Amino acid sequence: MKIKEIGEFGLIQKIAAMLPPPHKGVTMGIGDDCAVFELSNGKLGLLTTDMLVEGVHYSKEFATPYEIGWRAMAGNLSDIAAMGGTPRLVLISLGVPEITKVSWVEDLYKGMSELAAAYGTDIAGGDTVTSSQGVLNIVVWGEVEPSQTGYRSGAKPGQALLVTGDLGGSHAGLEILRRKLQLLPEIKSYPVEKHLHPVPRIEAGRWIGAQIDHGALTDSSDGLGRDLKNLAEAGKVGFRVYLDKIPVHPSTCKVAEMLEKKPTDFALQGGEDYELVFTLSQEGLAERLIDFEKQTGVKATVIGEVLPPEAGIQLQDAQGNCQTLSGFGFEHFSLQSKVSLSNYLLN
Amino acid sequence: MKIKEIGEFGLIQKIAAMLPPPHKGVTMGIGDDCAVFELSNGKLGLLTTDMLVEGVHYSKEFATPYEIGWRAMAGNLSDIAAMGGTPRLVLISLGVPEITKVSWVEDLYKGMSELAAAYGTDIAGGDTVTSSQGVLNIVVWGEVEPSQTGYRSGAKPGQALLVTGDLGGSHAGLEILRRKLQLLPEIKSYPVEKHLHPVPRIEAGRWIGAQIDHGALTDSSDGLGRDLKNLAEAGKVGFRVYLDKIPVHPSTCKVAEMLEKKPTDFALQGGEDYELVFTLSQEGLAERLIDFEKQTGVKATVIGEVLPPEAGIQLQDAQGNCQTLSGFGFEHFSLQSKVSLSNYLLN
């Protein structure tokens, strides 16, 4: 059996099944945005890692080394945000051909270092090796109070479903770069910026974790559709999503139109937005979201509600028509199409 | 300027120079076997990562996936041992082509998982991606008491210099595999085993850290010569090494002879032995080393002493002839020859 026959998720399931159960003190192994484990001071340690391969996850053609570094760091810090945590320390492994310019590597580190420094996070080591294909692996270590930790499994029926910022922008930016779309600068700049310089929602994650009624929390790295499936599975719940409530930036809508796609498809399938997807109880929500925006500088939008598991994931349009997510064409999330989505960069 | 012009160490220096100084609480950034940072419970957190690239650090031709996984895990756990710490948690990033057999990946994880489990260490997540060249990145998180942490910088003139186990065996094993050397099984088995199934010295590292007079501590991953340079630089000391005291296994000597090399060259330049190199004061040393062997199941050998920095690194043979390490042909440690050493696997 080849990996391509079972896909990335199939492979992860197989690996998870063969590993011994984690020891006491490991609160979360495989299955959330970070590994979570007890520290003897009562706090929880968070550990996350991501591997980016040249030609699959980044391309020297469409992004400067600074931008590649920034995006890679944003993706990892976002996993800490998705637990409600604070990032503390970063290790970086880099594999590049020996003929790579030193200045290219320095610019890559500059992108990573500037974003990490903005959150008081230190790059404290790593590994540099020779490889024919470029590869970048980032590890982030963070901390969080146990009561403020946001797991994927926390959603409770009756809670509101929310997202920060807007969705689909990163995918729109990628399409602009890949297809060299001719657009006015005022249309182009937002999605391209969102793709090349995403900002992890660290402050937002901490605000959410600090709400005593916080439910589920994750980050939108593979598209809202995938996120909802993850939250539904982990929390044994269902969702109703109001498609017209999903925040999509006007420029993202323009790009979707140009490509004859629905803007919500970009939001549901696009990925790499690094926004937070979370649930909170409805009490006093409107006032709390005003406080949220004031504290974090980011808007949060209610896009639906948590239902019992038997409801599945319902996507309801403005006319009240409902589709379930599984009937919505989500074979997109097999390894092949995920890779081919990323491979847009290569075409 | 290309990376190959300045080598791996030159590149690391450039990167280190451009990063902002670490925050309070980060005890060690770049420059030791692990990043070290304060936890609020008074313990120190340890974080280490290594990237292994197919064709550079491992070859499917000479090792089974189980062996590749085991060796990779051993190298990372060894970095925790080299701080006197206890490994707690592991994250694994794996990049392989989609046509890779699932059973190959399972066997790789089996090798990693069995060694980690032997130390009560959990594999708690990671990342799996598609790449044309295989790449494996391991991260280990560990803990250690501050007073029991063994840094590279701890050597004090007058202390004894010691190593655990024996050196050069892994390199001899690699030569046997690479050159398909025809040897009796009783000669062959030790070096090959040492190369394919190295054992990290976790218990030994903890014993050393617990000695109130412990000085420097590191692991022998790039050969004793490189280790001594690291300890001399970090601790601002010199060393005298008695070449005839360096423990080399009889089978390793046999392989060296066959290849018309000195066994000590294998020890000094070979690497990947994952033994510990450390310093202790001379008081009661003989009795303490008996206790060491009883507690850890490993032998420790005094191979020299710590000198003031102006002495440099002196290598003294059985006849009393002395050479300094810099005059001993250690241009081996430039990136090119380091890579070509690893590339033995490719030839």
Place of tokens 């009490």: A283
B100·A20 Cβ contact <8 A: no
B-contacting residues of A 140-179, CB under 8 Å? Answer: 141
pLDDT per residue over B221-262, tens digit each?
Answer: 889 999 999 999 999 999 999 999 999 999 999 999 999 999
Tell me, what amino acid is at A156?
A: K
* Same structural domain, B188 and B139: no
A40·B35 Cβ contact <8 A: no
* Same structural domain, B125 and B205: no
- What is the CATH classification number for the domain harbouring A181? 3.90.650.10
Q: Tell me the longest C-alpha to C-alpha distance in chain B.
A: 59
Give me A236's structure tokens. 């044994």
Q: Which residues of B38-52 are buried (b: 16+ CB within 10 A; e: fewer)?
A: ebeeebbbbbbbbbb
pLDDT per residue over B114-169, tens digit each?
Answer: 999 999 999 988 889 999 999 999 999 999 999 999 999 999 999 999 999 999 99
For chain A, what is the radius of gyration of the CA atoms? 20
* Same structural domain, A72 and A162: no
By the 10 Å C-beta count (0-12 exposed, 13-18 middle, 19+ buried), A343 is classed as middle
**Confidence label for B276 from pLDDT (cuts 50, 70 and 90):** very high
Give me A11's structure tokens. 């492979």
At A332 the pLDDT is: 31
| Final residue of a structural domain among A115, A147, A179 | A147
* Same structural domain, A19 and A82: yes
| Final residue of a structural domain among B123, B147, B171 | B147
* Same structural domain, B176 and B246: yes
Q: How far is CA B71 from the centre of its chain?
A: 11
Question: Coil, helix or strand for B97?
Answer: coil
Nearest CA to A196 out of A177, A182, A183 is that of A177
What pairs with residue A314 in β-bridges? A240, A324
Q: How far apart are CA B217 and CA B227, in angstroms?
A: 10
At B93 the pLDDT is: 94
Residues of chain B found within 8 Å of residue A49, distances taken between Cβ atoms:
91, 93, 125-127, 137, 139
A22–B contact, CB cutoff 8 A = yes
Higher-pLDDT residue of A42 and A136 is A136
* Same structural domain, A162 and A91: no
State the best of B123, B230, B334 to mutate against chain A, taking most chain A CBs within 10 Å: B123
SS3 of B252-296: the string is HHHHHHHCCCCHHHHHHHCCCCCCEEEEECCCCHHHHHHHHHHHH
At A7 the pLDDT is: 83
| For residue A328, pLDDT beyond 50 | no
Give me A160's structure tokens. 């509101």
Q: How far apart are CA A149 and CA A158, in angstroms?
A: 20
Q: Which domain holds residue B117?
A: 3-147
ipTM of the complex: 0.83
A20–B contact, CB cutoff 8 A = yes
In sequence order, which residues have a C-beta less than 8 Å from that of residue B266 and are 6 or more positions away? B167, B168, B171, B172, B248, B252, B255, B256
- Cβ–Cβ under 8 Å, residues A193 and A274: no
Number of domains chain B contains: 2
CB pairs under 8 A between A and B: 256
* Same structural domain, A65 and A174: no
Q: How far is CA B49 from the centre of its chain?
A: 13
B139–A contact, CB cutoff 8 A = yes
Please compute the mean of the pLDDT values over residues B104-111 and round it to a whole number: 94
**Confidence label for B338 from pLDDT (cuts 50, 70 and 90):** very low
A340–B contact, CB cutoff 8 A = no
User: Which pTM does this prediction carry?
Assistant: 0.87
Residues of chain B found within 8 Å of residue A45, distances taken between Cβ atoms:
45, 89, 141
| For residue A52, pLDDT beyond 70 | yes
* Same structural domain, A311 and A174: yes
| For residue A127, pLDDT beyond 80 | yes
Look up residue A156 and give its DSSP letter: -
A234–B contact, CB cutoff 8 A = no
By the 10 Å C-beta count (0-12 exposed, 13-18 middle, 19+ buried), B202 is classed as buried
* Same structural domain, B129 and B166: no
pLDDT per residue over A252-293, tens digit each?
Answer: 999 999 999 999 999 999 889 999 999 999 999 999 999 999
- What is the CATH classification number for the domain harbouring B67? 3.30.1330.10
* Same structural domain, A253 and A324: yes
Please compute the mean of the pLDDT values over residues A171-193 and round it to a whole number: 93
* Same structural domain, A189 and A330: yes
State the best of B6, B15, B334 to mutate against chain A, taking most chain A CBs within 10 Å: B15
State the best of B46, B56, B139, B342 to mutate against chain A, taking most chain A CBs within 10 Å: B139
| Final residue of a structural domain among A147, A170, A187 | A147
B34·A141 Cβ contact <8 A: no
State the best of A1, A5, A8, A15 to mutate against chain B, taking most chain B CBs within 10 Å: A15
* Nearest Cα residue in chain A from B129: A51
* Same structural domain, A247 and A292: yes
Q: How far apart are CA B114 and CA B91, in angstroms?
A: 14
Strands (E), chain B: 26-28, 35-38, 44-53, 86-96, 122-130, 135-144, 160-164, 217-219, 238-242, 276-280, 300-307, 313-316, 322-324
Look up residue A101 and give its DSSP letter: B
| Percentage of the residues of chain A whose pLDDT score is greater than 90 | 72
- Cβ–Cβ under 8 Å, residues A179 and A62: no
At A72 the pLDDT is: 95
At A43 the pLDDT is: 87
In sequence order, which residues have a C-beta less than 8 Å from that of residue B26 and are 6 or more positions away? A89, A122, A124, B35, B36, B37, B38
**Confidence label for B326 from pLDDT (cuts 50, 70 and 90):** low
